[in-house]
């Protein structure tokens, strides 16, 4: 009986967090994403038409996430004036909020907690880090598992106006 209750609780949690949504398909229109950032602002993907957007899921316990954050931040600082936007979304539990906030404070791009998402067409990622690339027309162009500089330069940079 305890196993059945645990399975039911997991299924309900998946529905509540948006995990029931499938991950966006490459080449498809980007799904909706509305989240309150750590600084209290609303990040609404639909309002960023005309900009290239990276949606990055990460966690404090994820070593590859911590490794890629400075790369993403440097890329953002170099290219935000060209129309680049990044949103970092932590999948950490609420109990890890303080650690997550400390890590997020060192980044210049907006950060949010997955628990603060009000409209999530992306669903919960199967693993982290994962980054979706949305072009200026709102199409999902790529999905990265970890973000080396080469991928940013080869995939994202050509999408930005020069």
Edge to edge, the sheet with strand 33-37 lists: 42-44, 33-37, 111-120, 84-90, 52-58, 130-134, 140-144
Cis peptide, bond prior to residue 104, ω within 30 of zero: no
pTM above 0.85, yes or no: no
- pLDDT of 157 > 80? The answer is yes
Confidence of residue 123 (pLDDT cuts 50, 70, 90): confident
- pLDDT of 7 > 60? The answer is no
Which domains does the chain show, CATH number per domain?
23-159 (3.40.30.10)
DSSP secondary structure string for all residues of 67-116: HHHHHHHHHHHHHGGGTEEEEEEE---GGGHHHHHHHHHT-SS-EEEEEE
87-106: pLDDT as tens digits? 999 998 877 778 888 888 88
Q: How far is 89 from 114, CA to CA, in rounded Å?
A: 6
- pLDDT of 17 > 70? The answer is no
Confidence of residue 9 (pLDDT cuts 50, 70, 90): very low
Read off the DSSP letter of residue 153.
I
- pLDDT of 20 > 70? The answer is no
Question: What is the average per-residue pLDDT within 103-125?
Answer: 84
Q: How far is 3 from 44, CA to CA, in rounded Å?
A: 38
Map residue 18 onto helix, strand or coil.
coil
- Quote the tokens at residue 140: 């999902």
Of all residues in the chain, the percent with pLDDT exceeding 70 is: 86
Give the pLDDT score at 56.
96
Stretch among 5-9, 57-61, 71-75 having the lowest mean pLDDT: 5-9
Read off the DSSP letter of residue 152.
I
């Amino acid at each position: 009986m305890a196993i059945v209750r645990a399975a039911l609780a997991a299924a309900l949690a998946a529905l509540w967090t948006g995990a029931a949504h499938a991950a966006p398909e490459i080449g498809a229109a980007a799904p909706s994403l509305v989240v309150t950032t750590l600084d209290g602002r609303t990040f609404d993907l639909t309002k960023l038409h005309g900009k290239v957007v990276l949606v990055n899921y990460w966690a404090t316990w994820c070593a590859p996430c911590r490794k890629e954050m400075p790369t993403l931040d440097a890329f953002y600082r170099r290219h935000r004036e060209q129309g680049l936007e990044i949103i970092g979304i932590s999948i950490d539990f609420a109990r890890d909020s303080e650690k997550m906030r400390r890590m997020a404070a060192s980044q210049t791009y907006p950060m949010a907690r997955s628990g603060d998402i009000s409209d999530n067409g992306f669903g919960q990622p199967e693993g982290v880090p994962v980054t979706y690339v949305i072009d200026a027309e709102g199409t999902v162009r790529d999905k990265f598992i970890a973000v080396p500089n080469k991928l940013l330069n080869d995939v994202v940079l050509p999408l930005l106006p020069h």
